[in-house]
Amino acid sequence: MTGSAASTLQVRTDGSVGHVTLDRPRAINAVDHEMILGIGAALDAFEHDADVALVLLDGAGDRGFCAGGDVRSLREQVLAGDAVGAMTFFRDEYALNARIAEYPKPVVVFADGITMGGGIGLAGHAAVRVVTERSQLAMPEVRIGFTPDVGGSWLLSRAPGRVGEYLAVTGGTMDAADATYAGFADHLVPADRLGDLHHALITRADPHTPTEITLLFDETPEPSRLAAARPWIDDAFAGDTVPEIVERLRARPESAASETADLIESLSPTGVTVTLAAVRAARSLPDLRSALAQEYALVEWFATTQPDLVEGIRAQLVDKDRSPHWQPSTLADVPADAAASALAHVPSIPLWAA
């Protein structure tokens, strides 16, 4: 084994496997700008290394693969009026998300434990996406007055039925069965077999593809709770607007439906309104890069025009009082053109370099 290690990233070569481990276990491996750049540099090196046949991404510790991006720094940049700094981080992060999806060698990700937000950006677009019985996947951005990004809108827009809208507007968490059903994961491998799978990826010549090797350890997940909930999810989330969705949820007999209505009404009215429109718009986009470009514009719109993002991060992650003061405070007060305005926003800093 050869390699090098930074303080928050381990990069090494295990035989024919290029191996990158996110190494911030105390922060559940949340990624900052340095880590994004480091992963990108590792992928560059592995691509041009003839001895590397595939790349493995995983996370240190037993709590999770990656809890997301460093949104506290985002809040500080927004408060300081540093839009350029904030958008530079997202530009590099989204470029990495696209690179993983388009990488010429197979990328395998062990999304063990918590994998949310920015973690989905790393795991969700890989060639082989492995979850375990400990996995908890989510795009929870609406909980901080934001909207799913890192290509999350692309994945959500392609989930079965209205499941994507449900997950996006509620920030709901998926277990392994749900993640596989919704299209966020490919294989369930028990956590105590990940070491064996890693060893097999390094040593096995037959079968020779990472998918075939992973299938040797794959187990059938339990039935998805999302699949079982499709009748009320599909009915309610077919509503044209968030208020209509809430109304449909209230009319359903299932207790989970009314609880979902309560949750939606506690979230940022602007955030859920724009999120619903963004996921639906992503359905008509041709590829992941187009979805990332749409998300990038939405990020700047939220960061530069909406107070809810800063307030949501404060309430959930800084002061942790869980009592955000949304502006506007109700769905009825959201401007009728809010979603259209957000989706029409043109970012001041281009996402893709010429």
Cα 309 from Cα 111, distance rounded (Å): 27
Query: Catalytic residue at 152?
Result: no
Report the alpha-carbon distance of residue 54 to residue 86 in Å, rounded: 32
Catalytic residue among 112, 149, 165, 311: 149
Structure tokens belonging to residue 218: 């794959």
| Residue 69 annotated to the active site | yes
Closest CA to 157 of 145, 169, 146: 169
**DSSP-assigned letters across all residues of 55-77:** EEEEESSSSEEE--B-HHHHHHH
Could you give the CA distance from residue 92 to residue 89 in angstroms, rounded to a whole number? 5
Q: Can you list the alpha helix ranges (DSSP code H) found in 103-175?
A: 118-123, 152-157, 163-170
User: Which one is catalytic: 70, 112, 141, 295?
Assistant: 141
Residues 6+ apart with CB under 8 A from 37: 92
Strands of 128-131's sheet in order across: 2-5, 9-14, 17-22, 54-59, 107-111, 128-131, 187-188
* Residue 12 contacts residue 4 (beta carbons within 8 Å): yes
Count the Cβ atoms, other than its own, within 10 Å of residue 228.
11
Angle between helices 255-266 and 163-170 (to 10 degrees): 50
Q: Which of 117, 118, 172, 312 is catalytic?
A: 118
Torsion angles phi and psi, residue 144, rounded to 5: -115, 25
Q: Assess contact for 129 and 148: CB atoms under 8 A.
A: no
Please report, in angstroms and rounded to a whole number, the separation of the first and last CA atoms in the chain: 38
Concerning whether 183 is annotated as a catalytic residue, the answer is no
Catalytic residue among 68, 69, 113, 172: 69
Question: Radius of gyration over alpha carbons of the chain, in Å?
Answer: 20
Cα–Cα distance, 97 to 105 (Å, whole number):
15
DSSP 3-state of 102: helix
- Does 312 qualify as catalytic in the annotation? no
- Catalytic annotation, residues: 69, 118, 141, 149
